[in-house]
Structure formats: C-alpha cells, structure tokens
Structure 1
Amino acid sequence: MKQTTADLILILIVLIWGSSYVAMKWGMDSFGIYSLIALRFSIAFCVGILVLWPSMSKIYLHTLASSAFLGFCFFCGFIFLLVGMETSPTTSAGFLMATTIVFIPIIQALVFHKIPNKFLIIAILLCLSGVGLLTIKEGQTIDFGTIICLIAALCYATQIVTTKWVLSSGENAVTIGVLQLGFTALFAIGPAFFLEMPLQTVTLTSGMIILYLAILCTLIGFVLQTVAQEFTSPEHTGLIFTLESVFAALFGYLLLQEVLPLHGYIGVILVFSGVIIAVRHGKSSGKKQNLTS
C-alpha cells in the first residue's frame, strides 16, 4: 500500500469518527460513560473476531501485551473524552482532540529522538493555529472540560505512536487491531458493572446508536486505522486526525445546530491547509518507517 493510499484511508476514517461525537453525545443520554464504552467495544470485538479471524495471525504473549497497552490507551482516552464532552460542546471537544498533532512529535522526539521534516513542522503549526482559533471564545478561560479533553488527546497520541512501534516490530495489524478492542472493553466492563448497573431500558434508538458506534466507528474505523498506520508515519496520522475536529464541527452544525463564529471558520481553513501540506509534501522515505532509526 502506498503512503498516499494509507493517508486517504485515514481521512475516510476520521470522516466517520467526526460523526461519532454526535452519536456519543446522544448515547450518553441513555448510558453511563463506562457502559457506553463497554457495549461499544464488546460488540466491535465480538463481530471482529467472527469476521476477521481468518486474517488474524497466531497470538503470542507479546501480542497480548501490546494489545492490552493499546487498549488501555483507548480506554483512558475515551473516559477523558466523554467526561470532557459532559461540560464541553461537541464542536469544542472535537477540536481539542486535534491537539494530538502537538503531542505526537513531542513523544517522537523524547522517546525515539525523531524530528519531523520542515513540511510537517509547517503543517503542525497551521493545524495548531487553526485549533487555537476554533477553541477561542470571547471572555472564556480554559475550563475543566478543556483540560480533560487535552488529556484525552495525549492518550490518543500515545496510542498512535505505540501502534506504529508495535507494527514495526512485526506484529500483524489486523490481530492487533481486533485484540485492542477486546482489551478496551475489558477495562470498561468492571467499572460499568460496579458503578452503572442496572442499565436503563435500551430503546430502538439507543440500540442503533450503540451498533453504529460499535460496527462503523469502532470495528471498521480502528482496524482500518491500524492497517493504514503500517504504511504511514505517526506524524501524518496525527495531522490527518485533525480533520476529525472539522468533521465533528460539520456534524455538530448539521445535527445539533452548533454554529461556529467567524474565526472558527478561519480555523477550519488552517486545519485543512495543514493536512493538505502534510499529505502532499510531508512524505516519509520508504514504504514503512522504522521508528528506531
């Protein structure tokens, strides 16, 4: 797979994930945070095992360990995101999650001593400026929800960098992609059982929301992300993921009537510009990158 193809797959994924912010907001009307995560990832894992088992490789102890760590990153990221969304609008939460692009090169530099090229640096600055404009509100300081969403972004950045490292060590992308869903569900089941039982009556609407989140946003989204990441860099992944905030704002406007101010739309343009620069001019050398180089 070419890096451009992998980047385009990631763009499709973040389009789907952009809609998930609205779905999660609706889902929290019927389920607790832990229950929402447990149901979403349990269904995704079970369907993934049934459908993708022929494509999965033999499972070793190090495969389970890697999947468990990635699942823990997902679990923490979703907990912080959903808590943040309780006090922040869908649009703001989406754009705060785009700060993942800032944490990725920091982690890369600290852990792997890897510095992004000049095009990626320009793209990061554009995206960061755009996110800044999108989160500015007149007379408002950074609140609790903002801080929590930033912690969620750090968790996702850790997951993205670790995924690339795990795949570079020879792990099967589909196997890791499916198993991490199971571990995420496992981490959520305990708190859901002790803190949020019994569940409210599941309506047709809430059931459809869970299935949408589980199958399209989780199983297809996260497995494709893991496969695509094998052929692109963590920096590219993080930059493309800033589009998730743009799509979240779009769906927030269409479905929740959340409207951006003028400077917010300028921020959208900056984010799009940064991603375009990254995809067109920030290519890495070779088919795959070795993070230890």
Structure 2
Amino acid sequence: MNQKSADIILIFIVLIWGSTYLAMKWGMESFGIFTLIALRFSIAFGIGIFILLKCRSSIYLHTLASSALLGFGYFCGFTLLLYGMKTTTTTSAGFLMATTVVFVPLLQILFFRRIPNTFILLAVCLCLSGVGLMTLKNGLALDFGAILCLFCSICYAIVIITTKWVLNSGENALTIGVLQLGFTSLFSLGAMLIFEMPFPQAPLESWGIILYLAIFCTLIGFVLQTIAQEFTSPEHTGLIYTLESVFASLFGYVFLQEVLPVQGYIGVILVFSGVIIAVKYGKTIEKTGGE
C-alpha cells in the first residue's frame, strides 16, 4: 500500500464517521454515555478478536501495552465528545472537533521538532478556514461543553501521533487495531458499572443503531484507520479528519433537511481543496533542531 491508497482509505473511513454524529445523538436518547461506548466497542472487539484468531496473529506484552494506551486515549476522547455533545451546540462541537488538523502539526513540532512542509501548512490553513465557514454563525462561545470538545480534539491528535509511533516501532497494525477496541471497551465497561445502569430498557431500533456504530463505525473504521496510518503521516490523517464535518453536514442535509448557508458551501470547497493539496503534494516532513 502506498500513501495515496492509505489516504483514500482514510477518506472512506471519515465518510462513515460523518454519520456517527446522527447515530450517537439518537443512541444517547436510549443509552447512557458509558453504556453507549461500552456496547459499541465490546461488539466490535468481539467480532475483531475472532478475525485475529483466524489470522493467528501473535500478541506480546508490549502489544497489549500499546493497545491499552491507545484504547485509553479513545475512551477519553469519546467520553469528552459525548458529554460535549450533550451540553453545547452541534455548530460549536463540529468546529472544535475539526481543530485536530491544527493540533497534530503543533504536537509534532512540540514533541518531535518536526516542521510540516509548506503544502501541509497551506492545507491546514485551508481546512481550518473551511470548517470555520461551514460551522460558525454568530461566533463561537466556549461554554463548558465546547471546552470538552476542544479537549477531545487534542486527545484525538495525541492518539493519531501515538498510533504512528506505535506502528513505527514494529507492531502489527491489524493486531493493534483490534486490541485497542478491547481496551476501550474495558475502560468504558468499568465506567458504566460505576456510574450508570448497566442494562437499560431500550427499543429495538436503538440496538440497530448500536450494531451500526459497532460494525461499521468502530470495527471497520478503527481497524482500517490503524492499518492505513502505517503508510501515511499524522499530518495527512489530521487533515483528512476535517472531511468528517463535511460528510456530517451532508448526512444532516439528507436525514434532517439541514441546509448550509452560502458561506458553508465555500467552506466545503476550501476543505476539499486542503485535503487534495495534502494528498497530492504533502509527502515529506522537514526536520529541524539537533537531529
């Protein structure tokens, strides 16, 4: 697999994830936050571990440690996101989640002294401007929920960088991709048993939403993302993540008849332009400092 193929896979994954805002919103009407995360990741892990056994993948102590680290990151991220979605507007949440595109290169500079090339920096500016045009209407009020979403964005940026670091250390992408689901499930099950009623009475359609989130958005999405990240850079991953807000808007239009203003469609064009620039030209990362 080359970098362009990996980027295309990530775009496909983000297309699926664009639907999760609707699905999670509907799911939270019947399930508590930790229960929703626990069910979603437990079902995904149950299917995924069967695949690992069929492939006879080797699992070592350092593999479990790496998976636990990533699983904890996802648990924290989803907890922050879902609590944020409960207490802030969708507009604010959508913009703040897309700021992952900014935090990834900033964290790369901070921890690894890596400066993204000019095309990546241009793509970051285009994507951030585009998401702002798509989501900002009367200003962005940083209420408590918005702050939670901002921290979730930082958390996702850390997970993206950590995933690349783990894969560069020689871990198997499929094994890590599945085991991280198990640890996310484990952390959320613990929180569910402490803070929520473990067995809610939910209608049948709510369980259908859980299955959709588990199979498509979690098992397929997270495993393919981990595999694809082995062949692309954290900056590319962060940039492609901004498409999630574009696809979420499309799903909102189809299912909720939400229509973007003119500036929103200009924002869509800017985001797509930024991602295209990153995929086509942003292949290298310049290093600075005493390396």
Interval of TM-score (by shorter of Structure 1 and Structure 2): over 0.9
Given that 2:92 and 2:141 are in contact with CA atoms closer than 8 Å, whether structure 1 keeps it comes out as: no
Give the corresponding residue for 2:240. 240
- Secondary structure of the equivalent of 2:134? helix
Query: What amino acid is aligned across from residue 227 of structure 1 in structure 2?
Result: I
Distance 2:140 2:108 in 1: 32
Query: What amino acid is aligned across from residue 59 of structure 1 in structure 2?
Result: I
- Closer, same or farther: CA 263–5 of 1 in aligned 2, 3 Å: same
**Residue 176 (structure 2) pairs with residue 150 (structure 1):** no
The structural deviation recorded for 1:220 is: 0.5
- Secondary structure of the equivalent of 1:115? strand
**Residue 227 (structure 2) pairs with residue 227 (structure 1):** yes
- Closer, same or farther: CA 139–12 of 1 in aligned 2, 3 Å: closer
- Paired residues for 1:87-106 under 5 Å: 87-90=87-90, 92-106=92-106
**Residue 38 (structure 2) pairs with residue 18 (structure 1):** no
**Residue 238 (structure 2) pairs with residue 259 (structure 1):** no
Given that 1:134 and 1:263 are in contact with CA atoms closer than 8 Å, whether structure 2 keeps it comes out as: yes
**Residue 152 (structure 2) pairs with residue 134 (structure 1):** no
Give the corresponding residue for 1:183. 183
Deviations 1:94-144 (A, max 9, x none): 332111010100111111111100000000011111122233222653322
- Secondary structure of the equivalent of 2:87? coil
Give the corresponding residue for 2:193. 193
The structural deviation recorded for 1:193 is: 1.2
CA RMSD for the aligned pairs? 1.7
Given that 1:15 and 1:247 are in contact with CA atoms closer than 8 Å, whether structure 2 keeps it comes out as: yes
Give the gaps of 5 or more residues in structure 1. 286-292
Distance 2:154 2:19 in 1: 21
Deviations 1:182-209 (A, max 9, x none): 0001111112112211432132201110
Distance 1:264 1:144 in 2: 25
Distance 1:36 1:12 in 2: 24
TM-score of the two chains, using structure 2 as the length reference? 0.94
The structural deviation recorded for 1:16 is: 0.3
- Secondary structure of the equivalent of 1:232? coil
- Secondary structure of the equivalent of 1:29? coil
The count of aligned residue pairs is: 287
Give the corresponding residue for 2:274. 274
Query: What amino acid is aligned across from residue 18 of structure 2 in structure 1?
Result: G
TM-score of the two chains, using structure 1 as the length reference? 0.93
Deviations 1:238-266 (A, max 9, x none): 10111011101111222223333332222
Taking every aligned residue pair, what percent have the same amino acid on both sides? 69
Distance 1:65 1:18 in 2: 30
Query: What amino acid is aligned across from residue 188 of structure 2 in structure 1?
Result: A
- Secondary structure of the equivalent of 2:116? coil
Distance 2:74 2:198 in 1: 24
Distance 1:139 1:110 in 2: 29
Deviations 1:75-94 (A, max 9, x none): 01101111111133445433
Comparing 128-137 with 176-185, greater Cα deviation is found at: 128-137
